[in-house]
Amino acid sequence: MARKRHLFLHYLYTFLRFWILTFNVLIFHPKFLKRPVKYLCLVCLSAWLCVLGLPAIAKGSMPNITAIQTPPNYTSWLQETSEEIPPFLGEVRAALTQAETVEQQAKNLYQAGRYSEASQLLEQAFQDYQKKGDTIGQAVVLSNLSLSYQHLGTWEEANQAIAQALTLLEQAPKNTPSRSAIWAQAWDVQGSLQLAEGKADKAVESWEKSAKLYTQLGDATRATRSRINQAQSLQVLGLYRQAIFTLNNVENDLQSQPDSLTKAENLRSLGDALRGIGRLDCEPSQQNQNCARKVLKKSLEMATQLRSQQAIAAANLSLGNVAWAESQIAREQGEDNPEQCQEANKMARKALELYQQAMAAAIPAIQTQAQLNYLRLLVELQQWQEAQKLYPQVQQQIANLPPGRSQIYAQVNLAISLGKLSTKNQENGTLTTPGAQEIDQILTVALQQAERLGDTRSQALVLEEQGQLYEQTQQLPPAQNLTQQALNLSQSINASEISYRAAWQLGRIFKEQGKTEDAIAAYTEAYEALKSVRGDLVATNPDVQFSFRKSVEPVYRELVDLLLQPSGGETALTQEKQESLKQSQNKQQNLKQAKLKKAREVLEALQVAELQNYFQQACKDIKLELDKVVDQRGQNAQKAAVIYPIILDDRLEVILKLPDQEELYQYPPVRLSQEQLKQTLDEFQNNLRDEYKFRAVRQSGQEVYNWLIKPIRDRLESSDVKTLIFIQDGPLRAIPMSALYDGEKFLVEDYAVVLVLGWEVRDPTPLDRSNMKVLAASLTNPPEGFQQYAILPNVNPELDVIKQAGVSVSFIRDENFTKEAFNRKLNQDNFQVVHLATHGQFGADPNSTYILTADGNIKLNQLDDMFRTLRGTQAKAIDLLILSACRTATGNDRAVLGIAGTAVRAGARSAIAGLWSLADSSSVEFTETLYQNLGQPNVTRAEALQKAQLALLNSENYFHPRYWAPYVLVGSWL
């Protein structure tokens, strides 16, 4: 690797020193006396080449070739190529001082991996420099000695050596030659040591100092390396966005430079960070945007051109991690979708292929991590026999890793895979796998290593996994003890992503032991810890492959399950002899209300977390404040009740919040399995879409009505409720509540219906009808590339009736409805309503959620950019976004979050959209009635939608729910 040289004084010092040593040797050399001119020319040439070729750190020092690692990915191990002493210096080597000769020998041993012998020679060199009082020489040797100790796993000695080196450098005079260069190198060594010990936050500071010193010295290459290392430490801390900012700056600085391993490494680190925030693949319409796959492919291409097997293997490993992440997302989003499952399997096979390529490279650290990931994926894919063959090889590879956090994490990951293999073997007995005792031994060794390191985070991680192992084998008392230790340690270092898992595990253990109150306390602790990590759900540490539905959602649901169970276990209240039975009952009622309110809070938090997970990023402004909104009614607002259904493993629970009432009401639970519930809802949804199944619609609609409305009908009537707000859960989201049937009427005939899907209803102020301005856009013919969509002949007549309703409206029609024109028009005026009569889709993820325009489509993230100016000004916030002719992806309740996501991205207070393809033929009549009522001062948004739906219901042609039921209002209803 090409290296820039340091300051002029360093050059002069090295040059003069070489001349003095050479003169002492050659002046008495017999060959020199015979041919003085020839040898003087040779010496001059050698001196000049020496200045160019000596390492940046003088006195025979070794470059930092320690592995810079980002546990537990092991994908950033990088070794700098050592610079050899030029052959033409052989004749003068014997004249070097004894310390320098010993140090060069130590360097050779270090490069050969003989760290113990290297450290012995370095200790000898240190003593020689110490006798001479050479402070700089001592600092150089101590830095290299720390590197050797790191490889030997003698962490106390490594820390002592580098600390002493830094102290010596601080005490050295500022004008000492090479002081700054060696100081920068010492901070570099300190950073690698701190990262290996799990002190990533301190490593960030050390590499920041190193980069600053290298920059002052004009050594851009080493400064860049320190910045890359700093970014990798930020990734270990889960600070992916900070890492991306740093790495993007490095990429810009390297843009004009020729391809190099440093450049390839920066791209790979950037790709890993982008994967950390879920930006896996680029949108076709956004070629300039960085994404993990695009950046990592560039890194792989560069590494291939440079013929670096190590960089090639590292890039393949990172690309494999991207494919693995994509397979997990596809599988999670498409559990009931065959196409999604096929895509998940395709990406999993691609990940296996890339891991195999990384494993083929003879680089132990990368090879080990590739094998670990390969094994874990085999287990996930239930390829048990292949996994059984691989694990002994992986176990041997881990034993050869250098001691440190990387080895600890590798053992934990191996234990996780072996645990799943062992569980499978218990089921069918066909595998030869380690039992719980052997897995426990692996974790015990890892724990001992973590304790020797003083790595609290690693200790917490190992203890958590050990606790889970004992939990699975029903050894509950030791499981409780180990898990409690893990929780205490993780809380001491604010490692919330470990704390929530440990607290959750502790809650399960208490629940299994019948300690309900202790279980609730532990689950509540897990829920509180999740608040710290859910802001970046995809930015978790890679030691746990993140799956929202497996790793986060159960915490919320299981806590709600405990909170809503009958409270017969609180015997302390009934045993208070001195209190009356009435007082005891009051306390019981207060306790029940506290639990119900906590359950409601958790349900709302789950809604927020699901929407954040849908976006694959944090949405800090998201929160629910329905109490405030429901109870704060304007003069013309109708009373609204909030209904919270929650789907649990063995039942459906529902909580009701009535206006102006503090107490919550818990329905009697509906006892049915999740499979039974889903089957009923699927049948209802299919009937709703079929125009010829009117009787079947009413039958299945009545069954759901009996679950959600019948138990509270009297309460709703006595409270004079006119609007129902549903906080829908799971597959219930895909059901239009307005189509529920009581045996005589549909629900829409009695109530206006609103959905709230995971974000705050920010403003209960009614829509300003006095000066309502509408921006309406239409697209009759789908653009090229979207021929799967039908022509919409009625979208322009739909826009015409808006004007006929006496509303101020601006139009963008057909070929004029381009992204640029829409964006420009949107920002020209204060529009309260944006009406888009065009095809679109709400998909299971942001990438499959879009709105068609004449020149392509507007994706969710592009919509965010377009509406950003409006969100920045309160006066320009949109009150209502109407998405006519859009549809929700069939068969996936997660896709309904796309409606809420679109509204959030547009900064709209509410949205009206369709749960399935809206009929173009009925859209004109629907739109006409909607705007006639939106313009009325005493009609809420929810009522305007209700009246438009009733207009279709009471018509001759569109009375079937297929036409009016799919319209849903999401968000603010006033």
* Poorest-pLDDT segment among 391-405, 716-730, 920-934: 391-405
pLDDT band of residue 429 (cuts 50, 70, 90) is low
Q: How far apart are CA 953 and CA 962, in angstroms?
A: 10
Alpha carbon distance 266, 230 (integer Å): 11
Note the pLDDT of residue 941: 93
Q: 227: Cβ–Cβ under 8 A, 6 or more apart, which residues?
A: 207, 211, 246, 249, 250
Closest CA to 211 of 202, 221, 201: 221
- Structure tokens, 81: 């190529």
Pick from 331, 328, 320: nearest CA to 355: 320
What are the beta bridge partners of residue 641? 724
Tell me, what's the pLDDT at 889?
Answer: 66
Phi-psi region of 856 (alpha: psi -120 to 50; beta: other; left: phi over 0): left
pLDDT tens digits for range 638-667: 689 999 999 999 999 999 999 988 899 999
Do residues 647 and 729 touch, judged by C-beta distance below 8 A?
A: yes
| 611, 896 Cβ separation under 8 angstroms | no
For residue 873, the tally of other CB atoms under 10 A from its CB is 10
Give the end-to-end CA distance of the chain in Å, rounded to a whole number: 66
Per-residue pLDDT averaged across 804-819, rounded?
94
Distance of CA 69 to the CA centre of its chain: 20
Question: For the ranges 36-45, 590-599, 663-672, which has the lowest average pLDDT?
Answer: 36-45
- Could you identify the residue written with the tokens 């719980």? 436
Give the whole-angstrom CA distance, residue 402 versus residue 361: 18
Q: What does the block give as tokens for 548?
A: 């929202």
- In the three-class reduction of DSSP (H, G, I as helix; E, B as strand; rest coil), residue 910 is classed as strand
365-382: average pLDDT: 91
pLDDT-above-90 percentage for the chain: 48
Quote the pLDDT of residue 460.
94
Task: Summarize pLDDT for 60-117 with one digit per residue, the tens.
Answer: 333 222 222 222 222 222 222 222 222 222 222 233 345 557 878 888 887 776 878 8
pLDDT tier at 517, thresholds 50, 70, 90: very high
The amino acid at 205: E
d(CA 884, CA 853): 13
pLDDT at 336: 58
Angle, vertex CA 613, rays to CA 609 and CA 617, nearest 5: 105
Digit-coded pLDDT (tens) for 910-922: 999 999 888 888 9
The number of beta carbons lying within 10 Å of the beta carbon of residue 790 is 12
Q: What is the rounded (10 degree) CA torsion for 686, 688, 689, 695?
A: 90
Residue type, 586: N
State the pLDDT at residue 591: 92
How far apart, in whole angstroms, are the C-alpha atoms of residue 500 and residue 488?
Answer: 11
**Helix, coil or strand: residue 885:** strand
pLDDT classification of 669: cutoffs 50, 70, 90: very high
Name the 3-class secondary structure at 251: helix
What is the Cα–Cα distance from 747 to 745, expressed in whole angstroms? Answer: 6
Separation between Cα atoms, residue 450 and residue 230, nearest integer Å: 23
Instruction: Compute the distance between CA of residue 518 and CA of residue 523 in angstroms, rounded to an integer.
Output: 9
More confident residue, 414 or 6: 414
Q: What is the pLDDT of residue 100?
A: 58
The CA–CA distances, whole Å, from 626 to 600, 760, 799 equal: 11, 8, 34
What predicted TM-score, i.e. pTM, was given to this entire model? Answer: 0.77
Residue 744 clears pLDDT 80, i.e. is over it: yes
Residues 6+ apart with CB under 8 A from 805: 928, 931, 932, 934, 935
Residue 22 has pLDDT above 70, yes or no: no
| pLDDT tens-digit readout, 245-258 | 899 999 999 988 89
Half-sphere exposure of 903 (CA within 13 A, CB side): 31
Q: CA separation (Å) from 701 to 648, 719, 814?
A: 21, 24, 39
